Amino acid sequence: MNKIESEVKLDFHNVLIRPKRTTLNSRSEIELDRTFKFKYSNVEWYGKPIIAANMSTTGTFEIYNTLSKHNIITALHKFYSIDDYSEFKKSSPNPNLFMISTGIGQESFEKLKSIFQVIDCNWICIDIANGYISKLIEFCAKVRQAFPNKIIIAGNVVTRELVEELILNGKVDIVKVGIGPGSACTTRIKTGVGMPQLSAIIECADAAHGVKGHIIGDGGITCPGDMGKAFGGGADFVMAGGIFAGHEENPGEIIEENGIKYKIFYGMSSKHAMETHYGKMDNYRSSEGRHIKIKFKGNLEDTVLDYLGGLRSTCTYINAKNIKDMSKCTTFIRVTQQVNNIYA
Q: Candidates 3.30.499.10, 3.20.20.70, 3.40.50.2300, 2.50.20.10; correct CATH number of 12-334?
A: 3.20.20.70
pTM over cut 0.75: yes
Paired with 291 in beta bridges are 266
With beta carbons less than 8 A apart as the criterion, state whether 125 and 153 touch. Answer: yes
Using alpha carbons, select from 141, 175, 159, 145 the residue that is nearest to residue 38. 175
Question: Using CA atoms, how far apart are residues 253 and 274, in angstroms rounded to an integer?
Answer: 20
First to last CA, the chain: 46
Domain boundaries, the chain: 12-334
Catalytic center residues: 185
Each of the 344 residues of the chain gets a pLDDT tens digit; together they read 578 888 999 999 999 999 999 999 999 999 999 999 999 999 999 999 999 999 989 999 999 999 999 999 999 999 999 999 999 999 999 999 999 999 999 999 999 999 999 999 999 999 998 999 999 999 999 999 999 999 999 989 999 999 999 999 999 999 999 998 988 788 888 889 999 999 999 999 999 999 999 999 999 999 999 999 999 999 999 999 999 999 999 998 899 999 999 888 765 554 544 556 555 445 555 555 567 788 999 999 999 999 999 999 999 999 999 999 999 999 999 999 888 989 87
